[in-house]
Amino acid sequence: MTDTPQDISLNEAEPGASVASDDASVPYEAPVKQSRGKAFLKYAGLCVAFCAILCVLLAGVSHVLHPKNNTEEAGMMDVRTYSVLAEPEDTIDALFVGNSVVATAISPMDIWEASGFTSYVCAANGEKLTFVHYLLAQTFEKQHPQVVFIEGDMLFDPSDFAHLAREILRQTFPGILYHHRWSSLTLDDFTKPIEYSNSLVNKGYNAKGRTEPAPNPDYMAPTDEVAQISKVNRFLLEDIKNMCDQQGVKLVILAVPSTVNWNMARHNGAEQLAEEFGIDFIDMNNGENKPPVDWSTDTRDKGNHLNWRGALKTSQRMAKHLTRYSLVDHRGDEKWASWDEALVKYHDYMDRLKAHPEAYDAEGAHVG
């Protein structure tokens, strides 16, 4: 599609024409029939109307393209992350949100076994803070946890406004995320509502079996350095805090054990920000909340993520920490009977994982 086919020399000016003049007054006069303000308002109005139609259509298309259930077969991405939406209403006491670091470190079933508190991990690989806003907004429609732990590692991600814009588009119009389904749509995609009925026994925990020791177990050496947190991430954290405040939910910044993602400079940065925002900061790499992680046996990939051994220790330590929030032990309560059933399945799953650690380690394998 061309504007002027054949013509490769538009606006050919005569040599020495007004082009070379120093005079900033412009020979061109636009055919203005109304004041610039009115014309601008008219164009702006048309643009707004067009965008409104575009948004309405995009929302409709998004509904069609969105998978109709939270299963891999249905085409859902991040099945584990969104599985919290399949839990019965108001049954979760604590939420852990973040990226793969928290997904491999916290096992809600181990916390349940140790304390009777219900929790869920809502995390996906490489997720940024931008994603947390949308995840919490969706989760709060069904769950009213007493505390939300946000993985502090995400505060140091290099988020920028372009990423923020992309995430807003992706979340507001999931058709953009699921557009690749255009060639495999069925009649159900046009007629059925979106459901979340696939509940997972691991409750969002991503158990890992492999062991690769960390080379730097003394990663929390004292320093006065303070790692910087970008303006975008500060803005996003403030937004998440406001959202939690509105819901009456306590927000806590959490640092789970990781020799790759944490050090004292980051600890100082997160601590400073937590103070500034009036949020608690729990660092499990350092101090009283540190679980007895053995970095020669408890990490999957040289200290980046924990394996099941590290996760068990971290989860048991977390179960103790959760007693601070006056949560109720639900064990034996009929409403939470499904958690006891899930616990049996969870142990089965973990036994199989311990027997075949490599087979159960691959990404996407056995989401539980």
Partner 1 sequence: MGLNSYFSIAYLAIFLPVVIVAYALIPRRFRWVVLLAASYVFFWLISGKLIVFILISTLTIYGVGIKLDKLLAQRDELIAADKSRRKELKAQYARTMRIWVAVGVGINIALLAMLKYLTFFSTVGASLLSLFGVQVDPIVSTIGAPIGISFYSLMAASYVFDVYRGTAKADRNIARLALFLSFFPQIMEGPICRYTQTAESLWAGRDIEKDNLYRGAVRIMWGLAKKLIVADRLNLLVKPVFADYASYDGGIIALAAIAYTLQLYCDFSGAMDVALGTARIFGVELPENFNHPFFSRTASEFWKRWHITLGTWLRDYIFYPISLSKPLKNLTKAARKTIGNRYGPLVAGAITLFCVWFANGLWHGAGSQYIFFGLYYFVIILLGGFIEPLAQTLSEKLHYSRESRWYKGLQIFRTLIVIFVGELFFRAEGLDAGLAMFGQMVAGFTFESFTNGAVLAIGMSVGDFVAIAGAVVILLVVGIIEERGTVISAWLCEKNLAVRWVVLLVLIFSMLIIGSYGFGAAPLEPIYAQF
Q: Give the residues lining the site for partner 1 (CB under 8 A).
A: 1-13, 15-22, 24-28, 30, 32, 36, 39-40, 43, 46, 50, 53-54, 57-58, 61, 65, 77, 160-163, 165-166, 169, 175-180, 182-184
> Least Å distance between CB 42 and partner 1?
8
Query: In angstroms, rounded to a whole number, what is the distance separating the alpha carbons of residues 211 and 362?
Result: 13
**CB-nearer residue toward partner 1: 176 or 226:** 176
> Least Å distance between CB 92 and partner 1?
29
147 phi and psi, to 5 degrees? -145, 140
> Least Å distance between CB 138 and partner 1?
20
> How would you label 66-75 residue by residue, b for 16+ Cβ within 10 Å and e otherwise?
bbbbbbeebb
* Contact (CB, 8 A) for 263 and 220: yes
Side chain identity at 334, as an amino acid letter? Answer: E
**CB-nearer residue toward partner 1: 146 or 172:** 172
**CB-nearer residue toward partner 1: 28 or 190:** 28
**CB-nearer residue toward partner 1: 23 or 218:** 23
> Least Å distance between CB 129 and partner 1?
17
> Least Å distance between CB 69 and partner 1?
17
**Residue whose tokens read 């049954």:** 91
**CB-nearer residue toward partner 1: 5 or 248:** 5
**Residue whose tokens read 């929390």:** 220
Angle at 137 between CA 135 and CA 141, to 5 degrees: 115
**CB-nearer residue toward partner 1: 39 or 328:** 39
Helix axes 308-322, 108-115, angle to 10 degrees: 50
> Least Å distance between CB 181 and partner 1?
9
**CB-nearer residue toward partner 1: 40 or 351:** 40
**Token pair of 140, please?**
């709060």
Q: Which residues pair with 238 in a beta bridge?
A: none
Q: How many residues does the chain have?
A: 368
**CB-nearer residue toward partner 1: 17 or 137:** 17
> Least Å distance between CB 367 and partner 1?
17
Listing DSSP states for 86-138 in one string gives GSPTT--SEEEEESHHHHTT--HHHHHHHH---EEEEE-TT--HHHHHHHHHH
Query: In angstroms, rounded to a whole number, what is the distance separating the alpha carbons of residues 310 and 121?
Result: 16
> Least Å distance between CB 36 and partner 1?
7
196 phi and psi, to 5 degrees? -125, 95
